[in-house]
Structures are given as structure tokens and as C-alpha cells.
Structure 1
Amino acid sequence: MKESLRPPARQCASTAAASVLEHRIAAALDRDPRIDAVAFTGEDVVRALTGCLGGPGPAARAHVTLRVIVPDFTRPVAVPGAAGDGAAVRRELLRRVRGHAQDVAALRRSLARGERARLDEEFRALHLTPFPGFCLIGREQLFDGSGCLTCWHADEGTAARERIRHRGLLFDALWRVAGPLP
């Protein structure tokens, strides 16, 4: 395939991650899950949530709480492996984050109008060096973005429960110091 026609690798990984997350979120809707994510822009979790709640299906009467922490792109950010940290790149990333937050807010309004489900959402920003993100669903499942997407479920034993607990503690600590989305 010509290089110009080949989709970027991240796009493929993002699509796969969103698909896996969508399936797992849909399976947890009957338990009114809280979804906590540390993400670069929030794209994967927003895409997954929109896929779950945006169409017809089992979302009726679900109550989902979404909390997302993203880097504060108004300040210089050290990006591992990147040649630099340009203001224009940060502005574009912030634009994308705001767009994802607006998409979730629009989904919330749509769900409320149709009396289908309840969605509470909040994006926060934190000045940090981007690192592989993760997503917790109901503190029972962990999707760890380090390397390839790794899924952990609390039913899989002590190691999985400990990993989920540690990521939950990390998320809670970051959430307390994160500020509103700029």
C-alpha cells in the first residue's frame, strides 16, 4: 500500500481501543458505572461512550458518571520522543480536548431529552508529562494503555484487583489536584 494511503498507526490503535472500551462499557451499563480516565485528549473514551449511549439499545435508565483528566495544553508539555513542544501543537490538542468535552455534553443533553439515560461528565486538566493513559470502569475493570491495550478485571484474581486498586488511587490523587479544563 502506498504510504500516503496508509492510515496513521495511532488512528488504528485508537479505533481498536474505543471498540474494546465500548463493548466493556455497554456490558457495565446495568451497574450504573463510573468511568475514570487519564487520557491524552479523551478521544477513545468519548468515542466508546458515544457508541454505547448514542444509539438504541440497553442504555435505557443507565446512570453513567464520566471523569477525564487530560494534560494542561496551555502550558509547555514534555512529550517523550517528540522533537519539541510547539505552542501551535498544544493549541490544536486543546481544541481537540474541548471538542471531545463538548461532544459528551451534547450526548448528555440528547440523553436527557429522550429520557434514555443519565450522564454526568467532567473533564479536568493537569500539568503533567503525558504518559500512557488508562481507563477504569466501575473500579472493576482497568484498561491500561501502556504498550498495547491491556485489560484487567477484578474477577481475574489478586494481581488484577491490586492493579485496579493502585490505578484507582492514582486517579483519585490526580483528580484532587487537577483543575477545570482551560
Structure 2
Amino acid sequence: MSDTRPSWSDRLAAGWGRAESTVTKLFLAAVFALGLLAQFVKPIGDALEDKVYLGGALLTVVGYLLYAEVQRLNAAHTAQRENEDALDQVVRRLDDEVQRLNALLRPRAGETVTPRDLEREFEEALAAGGEVRLAAMGFTGETFAVPLRNVLQGLGRDPLRTVSLRLLVPDFTKAIEVPGQVDTGGKISDAPDFREQLRRQIAEYESSLTSQIARMRLRQTARLTVEFRVLHMSPSLKLYFINNDVVYEGIYDRIDLRPDYSSNSAPEACDGNLLDLLGYDSMLTRWSLDSGDHAREIIRRRRELFETLWNVAHELTPTPSLPGRPDAS
């Protein structure tokens, strides 16, 4: 069995390392005391008078101690600098690895993705700070307003961050056939009660986002602007814009034919079915500017379409207050 105990030289070096500071302080204190006594106690002063060699020896020892301390400090500073350089290299390697993993995990241009990928990129854009511009066109704005409200509530303090939110939705104050009512003969017509339900739903989404404006200003997390506009159109295309760099697009690819329970009539008295469009979890296609000419052309055309429709749309009509309850007679 090998002897793992430290050698005498190692133990001696360790002991001297622990005692060096104390011995040095005692020696310097003794030199100081001797000089002080020689100045004020005549016999000691006379004894040390003309002791040039002794003074030189003491001065040499003091100089050596100072030199050793300077060397120790230089060595410690050099080691610290080397450690900092090594740490910087590790941080750079980790940053490069994170960037590489993000590039692998982030959807490529033209790739089919899920709504969760869109929400994740919303989070990344808002967390990055600066000027953030998000816009969308959809049915009621649920896939835009709901995740963004949650992200906005969790943002950290950043007084320089500005966030602009724009949403374009159908004008459900006007008659529309899709979504609409399907009678027993298969003819589609307007469903006023369902339209009113959709209009109120959109108004709730607008309220949930605009309520964040004062809250975020007070907490200095961002300067937020929110604008909803409506246009007389049937919902079909879903568009989401993240700054000028990324576009997500999709369609409402499911039709739901069900009894119109939103009608004022009793369910059994409904004279037809409600034709509704679904697409909350529809797959999306992602396009980004850094993915080639084709992707840039797609983004340009989608943005041109959105801005054209946005400019001819008008502001969302405020939800009228419900009439007060009449007094009991």
C-alpha cells in the first residue's frame, strides 16, 4: 500500500505558508520598535550608532519582504487575469452553442409549424426589448390576444422597450354569411345572434390588451400601444407579423356545423344549423427575411395585403353598455 502522507518538505512549506504573514509582521514591528527606542533611549541609540552594516542588513531584509509581497500580488493578478480569460472563452463557447441550438430548434422558412412556435417567437421578440411591432389578421384575434396578454404580464422592467400591437378582424356589426346560419334547404344566411357573440368576444380581447397599457407604464416594462380595426369580410386567412422580419400564415381549415345555441330561440326550435369556422390549432407556415429571395417575396406580398386592408378598415365599434334593470313596481 502506497504512503499518501505528505513529505517533510511539503509539511514544512505548508507550515511556513501559514506562519509567513505572522513572522513578517513581528519582524517589521521589532525593527520599528528598535528604531523608536534608539531615538529616545540614549544607551540603545549609542549602542547602535555607527552600526552601518546592521542598518543595511535590516534595510535589505525589509526590501526583500516588500519585493516578495509585490511578486505575490503580481502572481495573484496574473492568475486572476488568466481565470477571467478562461471564463470568457467558456462563456463565448456556451453562447455559440446556445445560438446553434436556437438555430436548430427555430423553424426554417417555409416550414410548417404549430401555434406554440408562434407564441414562443412572440415571447422572444418581446424579451429582446427595443422596438417591437406585432400585427395579425384573423377571426376573433384569440390566438393573438390571449398569448400576448400573458407574455406582457410577465415582462421585466425595461423603460426603453416600445410595443405596438395591431389586429385586423371581420366587422361583425354587419351581416355576413360565413360564419352564418344554414337552413334545412342548405342555404346560408346571416346569424345575427352569433355575430353579436363574436363581436363581444373581440371587444373583450381588445379590453384585455388595452388594460395592460397603464399597468406596463406604471411598472416601466414597456410603452404599449394597441389598435384593433375591423373590415367587412369573411374570415379565411390567418396572418401574423413579427416586426419586419417574420410572417406566419395559415387558414381556418375546419368547418363546424352545429345547432345554433346562440339564437334567442330554444334549441329544439332552431330551424337550421350554424356554420362556424375553426382554426385555433391549425398548422402555420413560417417565413423569415433571412431565408432567401422566395421568403422575402412572400413576406413583401403578405405585408402589402395586410397594410392595404388595414388602411381601408375602421376602428372597432365600442361595445354598447347594457340597459339598466328597470325598477321593480
1:157 corresponds, among 270, 280, 292, to 292
Structure 1 counterpart of 2:301, which letter?
H
Measured after TM superposition, the shift of residue 79 of structure 1 is: 1.3
TM-score of the aligned structures, taking structure 2 as reference length: 0.47
- Return the alpha-carbon distance in structure 2 between the equivalents of residues 96 and 80 of structure 1: 15
Compared with structure 1, are the counterparts of its residues 136 and 59 closer, same or farther at alpha carbon in structure 2 (3 Å cutoff)? farther
Query: What letter is aligned with 1:22?
Result: E
**Aligned: 1:51 with 2:150:** yes
**2:162 match:** 63
Superposition pairs of residues 20-31 of structure 1, within 5 angstroms: 20-29=117-126, 30-31=129-130
Unaligned stretches of 5+ residues in structure 1:
1-15
Q: Map 1:7-22; keep pairs closer than 5 Å.
A: 17=115, 19-22=116-119
Amino acid at match of 2:173: T
2:165/2:227 contact within 8 Å kept: yes
The SS at the match of 1:95 is helix
Distance across 1 between alignment mates of 2:123 and 2:159: 11
**Structure whose alpha-carbon radius of gyration is higher:** 2
Structure 2, gaps ≥5 residues long = 1-113, 183-187, 254-282, 318-329
Question: Does 1:40 find its partner at 2:153?
Answer: no
- Out of 123, 127, 142, the residue aligned to residue 228 of structure 2 is 123
Q: Deviations over 1:129-176 (max 9, x none)?
A: 211211111121111023521111111111111111111101110111
In 1, distance between residues paired with 2:142 and 2:205?
6
Change (3 A) 1:167 1:59: farther
Aligned-partner Cα distance in 2 for 1:101–1:129:
20
TM-score, scaled to structure 1: 0.83
**Which structure is higher in RCO with an 8 Å CA cutoff and minimum separation 6?**
1
The answer to whether 1:111 aligns with 2:216 is yes
- CA–CA separation in structure 2 for the residues paired with 1:26 and 1:128: 30
Cα displacement string for residues 51-106 of structure 1 (whole angstroms, at most 9, x for unaligned residues)? 22111448664211111111000111231697343101000000000000000001
CA RMSD of aligned residues (A): 2.0
Please identify which structure carries the higher helix content. Answer: 2
State percent identity of aligned pairs: 35
Mapped contact 2:159–2:222 kept (Cα < 8 A):
yes
